[in-house]
Structure 1
Amino acid sequence: MAAKYKHVAITGPPGVGKTTLVESVVGRLRSCGAPCSGFYTREVRQAGRRTGFDVVTLDGKSGVLSRVKPDGGGRRDLRVGQYVVDLPAFENLALPLLQAQASLQGENGHILVLDEIGKMEMFSQHFVAGVRGAMARPSTTLLTTIPIPKGKPIPLVEEIRNHKDFFVVNLTRENRDDPSIQENIVSTLTASLKK
């Protein structure tokens, strides 16, 4: 399996543990000396209730991705359900990661972690273009999470889901504790770096 794919995309329902799996995989990759950069998306909770999401880079920077806002806000709000996306804050963190990765040259590969590529992130056309560029770059290996198909298809997500170079892992409550899933992801990514 490892030789067949270059990238890994983890999909599954909200709350199944996609980000937890990505963090564990990144920890293992870093312990092996694999170069990784990118970001995680983290829930923000207040009084036990989810109030939004933040973006946290692998080097520890963080910023707002979205927050719950009642209807009746500005008509120009970028909304996904009850959440309003803070596009400038997201782009300030995510775009430099894509740009820095694009400028890397040389034979050694690099793993770019993008957790997640979903509806909120799609408001940034610069981000969409950067992801497509990373997918096409020989020195880049992607480790990403994508939402399960629901409602109107998200073009970039469907490109990833159907791309021949992506190993798509469907994480469920039944299989999320299976150690072979993490092993397959780590072996796919490390093999890709050696190509």
Structure 2
Amino acid sequence: MQLIQENPDLSAYLAADEVIDHHHPRVRETAARLAEGVADSYEYARAAFDFVRDTIPHSQDSGDLRVTWRASDVLEQRTGICYAKAHALAALLRAEDIPTALCYQELGVVHGLVAVRFAGAWHRQDPRGNKPGVDARFSLGGERLAFTPDQASGETDCPILYAAPHPVVLDALTSARDRPHLWETLPAAL
């Protein structure tokens, strides 16, 4: 699949905003801690991915009822669904000047992930969190995502790389009272 930048300016994928708030002290502190002792940006990106995937539980898996959406809040509260975890990873990567996009799959509901730019190409990564049947890994040599769309069922990989969260995703997160309410209002398509 060919990935398509929503914005032709690569600097858009380094920007901070209300959601990808990589200038926030909590994001900066976490990024600095993860950067200690790493040799290069690739090692840092892998460490940040592993950190978000493994230390911030997916709220559905853990039973946490809180809904987070801002990267700094995800890092502080240590919970989030796929979109929120993607926001946290994007902030950590952008904090270290690694261009990072938000991207999505349509799997009956919209699933959120990121794409990182290395060696002149985009590479999708899924920090959702592993569990039985899900084994996502950081990889530049072939995708190791949590889910593979079932084309026969109409599931798809969305090729657009967004610099900011898609509005339907952000609206679902910010308007949810709690995770059960969010589950009722997850978007099915972008």
Q: Does TM, scored on the shorter chain, surpass 0.5?
A: no
Give TM-score, length-normalised by structure 2. 0.35
Give TM-score, length-normalised by structure 1. 0.34
More strand by share: 1
Structure with the bigger RCO (C-alpha within 8 Å, sep 6+) is: 1
| Larger CA Rg, structure 1 vs 2 | 1
